[in-house]
Amino acid sequence: MVARMLATTKGKDMIATGMLATTQRRVKGSIGIGLFPACNREHWDILISSGLASAAQRDTSVIPLKKFFVRIVNNLDAKKLDFECKSQEDVIARSLAARGDEFEFGFRLDIQLSTYYFCDLWYLNYHVGFHAFQVDEQLLDLCGGVHCIWKAQEDGIYLYNIQRANWLRKYSWEKMGK
């Protein structure tokens, strides 16, 4: 089973995932004081040595278990948009029948900060595949927050930057088949 742990390192809170046993106890250690469900110092040392602490300190806006969202918007004139988004653990497939239809899904970053969603979008005989989300400084800056909003139009796929309030064309459609 998996449990959440909270520790303080250099004044920053970090959330990690550790092993859960059947009992709970308080653990005091050099890295801080917190409630760790039956997790001993060895489990915490493994997490620290795996780079969790340095990854969380490099970018305080990207921490394990932080919630993010991806939204797909159909802005095609009278055309159905189909999509499938895959991560290490999930497959999300939908059809957006009409212009203005949209679908949003949320997820939490994994402990290794390796969460990603690769999406395939298609309509008629056009297709495009791209990373709709990944822990990438440039992509997260373009998203402008915890929401990555993608809009499909006839001339391509656009990403909305919330902080700048503008759409940026990121991908062009590829013709499928012959």
Using pLDDT thresholds of 50, 70 and 90, give the confidence band for residue 113. very high
Residue type, 67: K
pLDDT in tens, 70-104: 999 999 998 999 999 999 999 999 999 999 999 99
Does position 151 have pLDDT exceeding 80, yes or no? yes
Q: Is residue 23 part of a domain?
A: no
Q: Is residue 20 part of a domain?
A: no
Q: Is residue 10 part of a domain?
A: no
Q: Is residue 101 part of a domain?
A: yes
Token pair belonging to 53: 């602490």
Domain span at residue 131 reads 66-175
Whether residue 74 contacts residue 104, with contact meaning beta carbons closer than 8 Å, is answered with: no
Number of domains observed in the structure of the chain = 1
CATH code: domain of residue 125: 2.60.40
pLDDT in tens, 16-30: 333 222 222 333 333
Whether residue 80 contacts residue 96, with contact meaning beta carbons closer than 8 Å, is answered with: yes
Q: Is residue 9 part of a domain?
A: no
Q: Is residue 59 part of a domain?
A: no
Q: Is residue 159 part of a domain?
A: yes
Task: Tell me the C-alpha distance between 19 and 39, whole Å.
Answer: 6
Q: Is residue 122 part of a domain?
A: yes
